[in-house]
Structure 1
Amino acid sequence: MTVESAFSFFIAVLIFGITPGPGVFAIMARALMHGATSCLPMALGMIVSDILYLIAACLGLATIATHWSELFTVIRIIGAAYLLYLGYKMWTAPVSSDEFNASKSQKGSVAANFLQGFLISASNPKVILFYIAFLPTFMDLSVLSSGDIALASVLTLVGLLIGLMAIAVFADKARGFFRSPRAMKGLNRSAGSIMAGAGAYLALRH
């Protein structure tokens, strides 16, 4: 991989990472509820899933997608159902100050948040299409070395981490405006709507 193609790929991944979709909406919703730091495991789960798709694309993801389309469909449905469930939980979260502060501390385990991020990315058709359709425009897959694949994986890790955590920090800053019980109720419902919308997007997208 040339320096020019590596740089172009990094910029493309960065832009891809901040493009509105289920992953971005989930990060926003979590940051609004629990702060930017809590989004790191979820972001890493998404990134690991993306890197696996990247490696699969280098090894022939189009063929895999053709023969395992049913598996992708099952993963997508599971991911969508989980997001809808989380949206419901956020929508019905407590709104009094004491209960709200308690709910902020109940962020879930790191493993659960990582798995949530992994499922969101693994079940998102946009991720699959990106690596099938756009990866060959940045590199010749027929002559890729293991070093090229490793470099592309590192660039994906850095680019997506910057993009996703930037969104988390932005959403976290917005959290400071939600102090009154009425505002906190609006925050809960906004975050829940965002998360449920991400689930509906996955459920309806093919």
Structure 2
Amino acid sequence: MDMSLLSAAALAGFVYGITPGPGVLAVLGIGAGQGRRAGAAFLAGHLVGDVLWASIALVAIIGVAAIGPLVFDILGLISGIYLFWLGWRAVRVSRSSDGVAAAPVRNPLLHGTIFGLTNPKAYPVAVATFTALLSAKAGLLTWSMLPVLVVASCVGGLMAYAILVAVVGAEAVRRSYRRHEILITRMSGVLFIGFAIHALLHAAPGLLPRRPA
């Protein structure tokens, strides 16, 4: 197994888990109102959805890679455009959106599980993120690698969640997040744009017409 491939899968899981989105905003809201334990329970449930969507994303990516590099390059192009669009929207954000829970969550674990499994943005973001970070190693992907790649992505996701649990619920973090919400969102947008450029740079050479030798 190529270690750079495992590292890319772990990094994709980390980025997918820690980048501000509906799940991160929800856990920040729960942690602000109910503390770290509730936030950790929410993330434990949310991990079920992360594993599902990451697995489906990797199945799609490996399947496309098995068909041929052209299809993978097209997927990389689409993913890069999608990530760039998400990043551009985040960079241009000008006002806060509702991300804090309005009322205490009675069962954070169950809430996190349902939230993770039903998040409509989970699959396209997972596919785009994993494609952006695995596109450079497309030729090495095989079906036998799927379980190990899923485990690697979960390790990356758990690292992201460990960081979130460490900071969620802290008064200083809550104040800072509310004060700098726009900046945090824009920084996450820059991160998405960076991964979009990465995906586009790897996809473009395979889509450009080749000069005759």
TM-score tier by shorter-chain length is 0.5 to 0.7
Distance 1:85 1:165 in 2: 24
- The alpha-carbon deviation at position 138 of structure 1 amounts to 4.3
Amino acid at match of 2:167: F
Aligned partners of 1:31 and 1:171 also within 8 Å: yes
Q: 1:152 aligns with which of 117, 127, 149?
A: 149
- Find the residue that maps to 1:107 and give its secondary structure: coil
Provide the residue aligned with 1:119 in structure 2.
Answer: 118
Aligned partners of 1:42 and 1:113 also within 8 Å: yes
Amino acid at match of 1:55: S
Provide the residue aligned with 1:7 in structure 2.
Answer: 7
Aligned ranges 1:76-155 → 2 under 5 Å: 87=100, 90=102, 93=103, 107-108=106-107, 110-120=109-119, 122-124=120-122, 125-140=124-139, 142-145=141-144, 148-155=145-152
Distance 1:175 1:7 in 2: 32
Provide the residue aligned with 2:16 in structure 1.
Answer: 16
What TM-score do the two structures reach when normalised by structure 2? 0.53
- The alpha-carbon deviation at position 152 of structure 1 amounts to 1.4
Counterpart check, 1:28 vs 2:28: yes
Percent identical residues = 20
Structure 2 spans left out of the alignment, 5+ residues = 65-74, 76-96, 186-213
- The alpha-carbon deviation at position 160 of structure 1 amounts to 1.0
Question: What is the total number of aligned residue pairs between the two structures?
Answer: 147
Distance 1:177 1:48 in 2: 26
- Find the residue that maps to 1:172 and give its secondary structure: coil
Change (3 A) 1:33 1:141: farther
Aligned partners of 1:53 and 1:131 also within 8 Å: no
- Find the residue that maps to 2:51 and give its secondary structure: helix
Bigger drift between 2-11 and 39-48 goes to 39-48
- The alpha-carbon deviation at position 108 of structure 1 amounts to 2.1
Change (3 A) 1:117 1:17: same
RMSD: 3.7
Q: 1:167 aligns with which of 164, 167, 180?
A: 164
Amino acid at match of 1:154: V
Change (3 A) 1:116 1:57: closer
Structure 1 spans left out of the alignment, 5+ residues = 67-83, 94-102, 179-186, 198-206
Distance 1:9 1:142 in 2: 11
Aligned partners of 2:47 and 2:113 also within 8 Å: no
Amino acid at match of 1:34: Q
Amino acid at match of 1:6: L
Residue by residue over 1:120-145, the C-alpha shift from the partner in whole angstroms, topping out at 9 and shown as x without a partner, is 3x533422322344433345475230
Distance 2:117 2:172 in 1: 25
- The alpha-carbon deviation at position 164 of structure 1 amounts to 2.2
Amino acid at match of 2:31: A
- Find the residue that maps to 2:168 and give its secondary structure: helix
Residue by residue over 1:40-88, the C-alpha shift from the partner in whole angstroms, topping out at 9 and shown as x without a partner, is 343234333233233323332698xx9xxxxxxxxxxxxxxxxx9985x
- The alpha-carbon deviation at position 149 of structure 1 amounts to 1.4
Structure of higher RCO (CA pairs closer than 8 Å, 6+ residues apart) = 1
